[in-house]
Amino acid sequence: MSKRDPCLFFGDILEAIERIEEYTANYEFEDFVRDRKTVDAVLRNLEVIGEAARYVPEEIKEQHADVPWKRIIGLRNVVIHHYFGVDLNIVWTIVRLQLPDLKKSVEKIVEELC
C-alpha cells in the first residue's frame, strides 16, 4: 500500500475527471470517435482514475461501498492491457453517464476526509 496521503489520490481522480470533461465538453459520440487525440487523452485519464483508485485504502473503499471501486480499477486494466480492443461506445457511456456520479462521490469523500 502506498504511503501517499489518500487525499492526493482523490485529487488525482478529480483532476482526471475534469480533464475528461474539458476534452469532451462540446462533443457528441461521433465527434469523439473521429478525434483520435481526444480518444487517447480520455483513455489516458481513465487509466489515471483507475490507478489512483487502486491505491485508495481498503478502509475508505469499505466506508464508501457505493463507489464501484473494482469496476473503476478493472476499466484501467482493460485500457492498459487491451488498448486496441477498447469499445468506444462503452467509454463514451462511462464519460457521459458514470463519471458525473463518480465525481460527486469523490467530492463528498474529499469533504469528509481531506
pLDDT at 18: 99
pLDDT at 4: 85
Q: In the annotation, is 71 catalytic?
A: no
Distances from the Cα of 100 to the Cα of 3, 36, 68, 72, 97, angstroms: 28, 23, 13, 13, 6
Taking the chain (114 residues) in consecutive chunks of 10 residues, what is each chunk's mean pLDDT? 86 98 98 97 96 96 96 81 78 95 98 96
pLDDT at 37: 97
Sign for the pseudo-dihedral over CA of 102, 105, 111, 112: negative
pLDDT at 19: 99
Under DSSP, is residue 27 helix (H, G, I), strand (E, B) or coil? coil
Out of 4, 81, 82, 96, pick the active-site residue: 81
Q: In the annotation, is 64 catalytic?
A: no
pLDDT at 41: 97
Read off the pTM: 0.91
Give the residue from 5, 19, 12, 11 showing the smallest Cα distance to 111: 11
Are 13 and 49 within 8 A, CB to CB? yes
Out of 19, 34, 76, 82, pick the active-site residue: 76
